[in-house]
Amino acid sequence: MSRLASLLLVLFGMGIQGCSHQDQKVVKEGIPEDSVRSWASDFFAHYAERQDWERFLDRYADTVVFEDVLLQLKMEGKSAFAEFYDWPNPGFQKHPDYPATLVLDQLLVDGTSAVGIGRLTPFYWQDTLYELKTHGRFIMQLEFDPSGQIIRHTDWIDYPPID
């Protein structure tokens, strides 16, 4: 079974488990599930805009653990995360026909975690257009602390091949 198929099976299980606890409004650490959903929705909306780097970084705890599963990277701390994500890099440009850099198709919330499933939109990297006809799907898992900061962020992104 492929990694993506295994991951989707696990996420489907999380969704079923989440449905069975739908009446439970407050989850571990006293965080209301509605808060987790709101924080995650705001995160993905901000990510889609890809405009305010400092505001984006403010969403993360100083001790965030970031992992990119497909690139086999794991790092700790906001500065390491910021260096990797590097939104200010002028090599990245939005496609003029796609003002949002991603489309969120599904948002699952379970406890203090949220999982967003969607796809990236076409973009330019170093003046090369990446149309993402066969790539760009993503799954992002976020775990929040009681103040709404992200303490763990895990990416599964089907990156396009970059020359």
Could you write out the three-class secondary structure of the chain? CCHHHHHHHHHHHHHHHHHHCCCCCEEHHHEEHHHHHHHHHHHHHHHHHCCCHHHHHHCEEEEEEEEECCCCEEEECHHHHHHHHCCCCCCEEECCCCCCCEEEEEEEEECCEEEEEEEECCEEECCEEECCCCCCEEEEEEEECCCCCEEEEEEEECCCCCC
| 136 lies in some domain | yes
Q: Please give the pLDDT value at position 163.
A: 63
| 12 lies in some domain | no
| 122 lies in some domain | yes
| 81 lies in some domain | yes
pLDDT digits (tens, 9 = 90+) for 103-148: 999 999 999 999 999 999 999 999 999 988 878 999 999 999 999 9
Count up the domains in the chain and report the number: 1
| 18 lies in some domain | no
Q: pLDDT class for 54, splitting at 50, 70, 90?
A: very high
Across the range 33-57, mean pLDDT stands at 96
| 109 lies in some domain | yes
Which of residues 81 and 5 earns the better pLDDT score?
A: 81
| 26 lies in some domain | no
**Domain housing 114:** 31-157
Domain harbouring 125, CATH code: 3.10.450.50
| 41 lies in some domain | yes
Q: Is the pTM of this model over 0.75?
A: yes
